[in-house]
Amino acid sequence: MEIRALFFASYKEILGTEELRVDLPSGATVADFLEELRSRGGAFTVLPEIPAVAVNMAYSDPSLALSDGDEVALIPPVAGG
Amino acid sequence: MEIRALFFASYKEILGTEELRVDLPSGATVADFLEELRSRGGAFTVLPEIPAVAVNMAYSDPSLALSDGDEVALIPPVAGG
Amino acid sequence: MTVPFTRIVKDPIDPAGLLASVGSDADGASMLFTGVVRNHNQGRVVGGVRYDVYEEMATGILAQIAEEAKQLVGIDHIAVVHRVGELTVGDVSVAIAVSSPHRAEAFEACRFIIEEIKKRLPVWKKERYGDSVEEWVEGITPVGVPTSRVGRS
Amino acid sequence: MTVPFTRIVKDPIDPAGLLASVGSDADGASMLFTGVVRNHNQGRVVGGVRYDVYEEMATGILAQIAEEAKQLVGIDHIAVVHRVGELTVGDVSVAIAVSSPHRAEAFEACRFIIEEIKKRLPVWKKERYGDSVEEWVEGITPVGVPTSRVGRS
């Protein structure tokens, strides 16, 4: 299945990109998705081990199972207001 | 000594006046002042027995000794804001 | 403008202007609280209100309250205006503007000021219901206020 | 206007207009909180800031926060606007306007909303110091947020 990965703020700068398509086996979880990113090496290893993640715009646990077409955003610590 | 007595809001309406001069013996307290008013009978007996009182614009206890020329205001329950 | 700025006024209050007056480039939070004349109270339809005031004392107490707020939270960007006289529904009766580096102080100062106004500002409100019925709104007896004396001697 | 009203915007915010939009004749208290870009942070001189945003999610979260505030205090006269993009010192970054029959609810709603924004609105702030130095402001990791899923199926 294909996941749409989004990166913002400092993560976007670290990775040099704001969006990636990530192929994952069916049944993969958020944790699997993060592991897949880290396995790419380079800047991806600089990200926090367990960053906050939003799946389809809802904050989600690493154990959540993903579905084809999900939008998964890595959320740096927020600083609004 | 002479005290300047002020009345506001409901008290002013009850008494039909907003200001009185009250003669008191030297050494009289706020409590004496209130007793003098009540002794006038009529509308004065309708006032609360111990209303809030401000002496020279500071909230004061009934035990406070007054001085000639003091301004003593009877303060109905306040409703600002 | 002295800080804190406090006034008892008879004319309409300009809340936005008051808020603008307290801000500074060092402040990250600005707050405005306004009390507004409501069209109802305790189940009755209110057409308007009239505030009576012990003006000279109220002026002093309002300054005192703002000064206490300043001491409480350590900021002096505070402005408070209370209107008296005849007001109609929707009119602003009181406006409190506070500006501070961080939000907690602004909230605390603003809340302190409105609560103290309710407790001890010598102001009284008479509500008008319908065409002719008027009643003084039940108020709060000022208590626990320090018995200090402003001497004249 | 839907209630509560919430928006993520790129243009300047009009706080006074927002406050005016939430009032009604039944409300006795109106409050406005504004977050403002400060000229300093943690001992450094700030020249301006840039807010990055996950716009679609932030729009949803802001609406969620306002809805939670509405449930919490039982009032729906709430308007919240957060600005993103380039802001300079003195610019309003967030404005929260609340109007309610009594003051306690207005204070509670206003405080709840700004605290929740700080905890979970997907917005990030980069401060500019001097001519070229820029840094992301240390933020708050969203935690304790209910793990609910907006499905696409």
Report pLDDT digits (tens) over A35-66: 999 999 999 999 998 999 999 999 999 999 99
Chain D: closest CA distance from residue A20 (Å): 15
Classify strands C40-41 and C44-45 as parallel, antiparallel or unpaired. Answer: antiparallel
Q: What digits encode the pLDDT tens for the residues C68-104? A: 999 999 999 999 999 999 999 999 999 999 999 999 9
How many Å lie between the alpha carbon of B80 and the closest alpha carbon of chain C?
5
> Does the pLDDT at position D147 exceed 70?
no
Q: Do chains A and D touch (3 or more CB pairs under 8 A)?
A: yes
Block residue for tokens 């039940």: C138
Measuring CA to CA, which residue among D117, D53, D134, D147 is closest to residue A76?
D53
Cβ atoms of D26 and D101 closer than 8 Å: yes
| Nearest chain C CA: its distance from D34 CA (Å) | 5
pLDDT band for position C152 (cuts 50, 70, 90): very low
Backbone φ and ψ of C97, nearest 5°: -120, 130
Q: What is the pLDDT of residue C1?
A: 55
More confident residue, B21 or C149: B21
Burial B49-80 (b: 16+ CB within 10 A, else e): eebbbbbbbbbbeeebebbeebbbbbbbbbbb
A67 touching D (Cβ < 8 Å): yes
Q: What angle (nearest 5°) sits at the alpha carbon of residue D111, between those of residues C108 and D143?
A: 125
D147 compared with D135, residue with greater pLDDT: D135
- pLDDT classification of C143: cutoffs 50, 70, 90: confident
Chain D residues within 8 A of A55 when measuring between CB atoms:
149
Q: Of all residues in chain C, what percent carry a pLDDT higher than 70?
A: 92
> CA–CA distance from D114 to each of A12, A79, B74, D77, D78 (Å)?
26, 12, 43, 16, 12
Other beta carbons within 10 Å of A32: 16
pLDDT band at D148 (very low <50, low <70, confident <90, very high): very low
Kindly determine whether residue B59 and residue C139, on different chains, have CB atoms separated by under 8 Å: no
Q: What is the mean pLDDT of residues A27-38?
A: 97
Q: Look at residue C147 and tell me whether its pLDDT is greater than 60.
A: no
Residue written as token pair 């800080």 = C3
Q: Tell me what the mean pLDDT of segment B49-78 comes to.
A: 96
Give me the mean pLDDT over the C49-60 stretch: 98
Give the tokens for residue B8. Answer: 């506001």
Confidence class of residue D144 from pLDDT cuts 50, 70 and 90?
Answer: low
Give the helix/strand (H/E) hosting B4. strand B2-7
Mean pLDDT for B50-76 is: 97
Mutate to test the interface with D, among A6, A59, A67 (most CBs of D within 10 A): A59
- The pTM of the full predicted model, rounded to 2 decimals, is 0.93
Q: According to the model, what pLDDT value does residue C150 have? A: 39
Q: How many CB atoms lie within 10 A of CB D3?
A: 14
Determine which of B60-69, D37-46, D74-83 has the lowest per-residue pLDDT on average. Answer: D37-46
* CA dist., res. A42 & res. A58, Å (int): 28
- Residues C117 and C82: beta-carbon distance below 8 Å: yes
Return d(Cα B52, Cα C140) in angstroms, integer. Answer: 10
Predicted local confidence at residue D3, as pLDDT:
84
Among B30, B59, B71, pick the best mutation site for testing chain C contact (most C Cβ within 10 A): B59
HSE at residue C83, side-chain half, CA atoms within 13 A, is 22
Within 10 A of C129 (CB to CB), how many other CB atoms are there?
15
Chains A and B touch (3+ CB pairs under 8 A): no
Ramachandran class of C40: left when φ > 0, alpha when ψ lies in -120 to 50, beta otherwise: beta
> Which tokens is D33 given?
């909180």
